[in-house]
């Protein structure tokens, strides 16, 4: 087993009276915190303030690989020298206008061309709402086909080429899965993201463990009620292990399924590695994925140990909504953000 990479900035939860709060209590806190982060992310005035703040912009450079596809690919080349691949994501969340949707499509196409010209994996991630789901399913599908066909045409050389569909909140799941199945039927190299916190994910995953299938498993950044979601970190981690077992099962290996395990939890990574060894998976038959700028040393350790590792790598000027969610996941960074506002 590989050596552990220490976690940075641990956050300790203190309890009163010696009684441990129930998972539902922490779930409620997460909902409140998430609502606050979403409110900050959607604030146009705060976005303008922060994106013109040099201190805040410098802080977010940790999580964003440049303003253009070309700058992101330059970063991708540096990572490739370390054995690390990327999935490029053009920033732009809560897109509600046709102009914003058209811009997102253009930038996805620019990323495909830049990756192709650089001889790297042509791997891009797409939020369905970013390409039109908030307007209509037909517009989303039309734009997805445009991006998918461009990727398929460019993916002539060796590599793991893929249009990866991100999964947003639970209300978008059925539309996203339907889009994935439509693109796959059309011969586009496409994969979909599933979220371990949701109870329905086991069935959704089982349906996609098939020849040529590819699924990215994430914890899920959203919070939902116990009627549809597992409540508490312990329950979500238990379900994550169960889903990893399915992704790395004998059936999945034999049919040519490609698992993508997206986690920064080195214990879950170790669990997946041991499971893969036990079943006989080749190291290049599955991969791990992490976020650009998060636990970088751990990603480098995985790559140096011979494991496939890919970083979800955002680029673009509209970094505030994405960046504030990273702050939300790492509250230790919040004081620095506040200082940047005060010192403006």
Instruction: Write out the catalytic residue numbers.
Output: 166, 216
CB contact set of 14 (below 8 Å; sequence gap of 6+) = none
CA-CA distance, 300 to 5, in Å (whole number)? 10
CA-CA distance, 111 to 41, in Å (whole number)? 24
**Contacts for 203-211: CB closer than 8 Å, 24+ residues apart:** 204/173, 204/177, 205/243, 205/246, 205/247, 206/246, 208/180, 209/246, 209/247, 209/249, 209/251, 209/252, 209/255, 209/257, 210/255, 210/257, 211/255, 211/256, 211/257
């Amino acid at each position: 087993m590989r050596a552990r990479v220490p976690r940075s900035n641990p956050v300790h939860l203190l309890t009163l009276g010696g009684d441990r709060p129930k998972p539902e209590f922490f779930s409620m806190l997460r909902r409140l915190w998430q609502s606050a982060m979403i409110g900050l992310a959607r604030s146009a005035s705060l976005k303008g303030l922060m994106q013109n703040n040099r201190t805040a912009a410098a802080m977010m450079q940790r999580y964003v690989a440049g303003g253009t596809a070309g700058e992101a690919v330059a970063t991708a080349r540096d990572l490739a020298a370390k054995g690390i691949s990327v999935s490029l994501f053009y920033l732009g969340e809560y897109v509600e206008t046709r102009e914003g949707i058209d811009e997102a499509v253009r930038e996805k196409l620019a990323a495909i061309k830049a990756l192709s010209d650089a001889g790297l994996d042509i791997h891009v991630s797409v939020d369905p709402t970013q390409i039109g789901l908030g307007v209509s399913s037909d517009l989303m599908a039309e734009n997805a086909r445009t991006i998918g066909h461009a990727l398929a045409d460019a993916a002539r050389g060796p590599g793991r080429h893929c249009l990866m569909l991100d999964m947003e909140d639970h209300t978008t799941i059925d539309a996203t899965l339907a889009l994935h199945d439509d693109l796959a039927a059309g011969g586009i190299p496409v994969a979909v993201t599933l979220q371990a916190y949701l109870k329905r994910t086991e069935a959704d995953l089982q349906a996609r463990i098939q020849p040529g299938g590819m699924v990215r498993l994430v914890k899920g950044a959203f919070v939902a009620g116990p009627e549809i979601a597992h409540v508490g970190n312990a329950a979500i981690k238990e379900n994550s292990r169960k889903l990893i077992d399915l992704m790395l099962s004998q059936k999945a290996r034999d049919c040519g399924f490609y698992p993508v395990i997206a986690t920064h939890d080195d214990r879950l990574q170790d669990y997946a590695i041991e499971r893969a060894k036990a079943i006989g998976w080749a190291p290049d038959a599955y991969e791990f994925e992490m976020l650009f700028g998060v636990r970088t040393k751990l990603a480098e350790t995985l790559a140096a140990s011979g494991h496939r590792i890919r970083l979800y790598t955002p680029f673009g000027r509209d970094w505030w909504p994405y960046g504030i969610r990273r702050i939300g996941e790492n509250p230790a960074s919040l004081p620095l953000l506040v200082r940047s506002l005060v010192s403006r």
